[in-house]
C-alpha cells in the first residue's frame, strides 16, 4: 500500500470517504512493514469502520447537561483560600 513516509519512519496512507452528506479526510498511520503487507480489502475494511464510527459520533445524541442552580456556582467567603502574600514571606 503506497503512502507518505513520515519523519518518525511510519507511513501515512491518506484516504477520503463520503456518504454524500459527510466527508472524512483522514489517514492511516502504520509501520512500514504493516503498510507493505496491508491488502486493499483490509484497507477498505479499516477505513470503512473508521468512517462508520466517525458518522456515529457525529449523529449521536449529545450527553444531557444537568441543570444547576447558579447559586451552586458561587463561592461563599468561607470557601475562599487566601493567596499567599508575596511581600510577607512569613505567611502572617
Question: In the predicted model, is pLDDT for residue 90 greater than 80?
Answer: no
- pLDDT tens for 42-55 read 999 999 999 999 99
Q: DSSP state, 89?
A: T
Mean pLDDT over the full length of the chain: 86
Q: Are 58 and 22 in contact (CB under 8 A)?
A: yes
Predicted TM-score (pTM) of this structure: 0.64
Task: Kindly indicate the confidence band of residue 76, based on its pLDDT and cuts at 50, 70 and 90.
Answer: low
pLDDT on residue 62:
86
Q: Are 63 and 31 in contact (CB under 8 A)?
A: no
What are the backbone dihedrals phi and psi of residue 81, each rounded to the nearest 5 degrees, phi first?
Answer: -110, 115
Rounded to an integer, what distance in angstroms lies between the CA atom of residue 22 and that of residue 55? 8
The C-alpha cell 483560600 sits at: 81
Domain boundaries, the chain: 4-59
Amino acid at each position: 500500500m503506497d503512502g507518505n513516509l513520515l519523519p518518525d519512519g511510519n507511513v501515512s496512507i491518506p484516504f477520503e470517504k463520503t456518504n454524500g452528506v459527510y466527508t472524512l479526510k483522514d489517514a492511516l498511520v502504520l509501520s512500514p512493514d504493516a503498510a507493505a503487507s496491508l491488502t486493499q480489502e483490509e484497507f477498505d475494511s479499516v477505513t470503512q469502520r473508521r468512517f462508520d464510527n466517525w458518522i456515529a459520533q457525529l449523529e449521536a445524541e449529545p450527553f444531557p447537561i444537568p441543570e444547576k442552580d447558579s447559586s451552586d456556582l458561587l463561592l461563599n467567603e468561607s470557601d475562599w483560600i487566601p493567596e499567599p502574600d508575596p511581600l510577607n514571606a512569613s505567611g502572617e
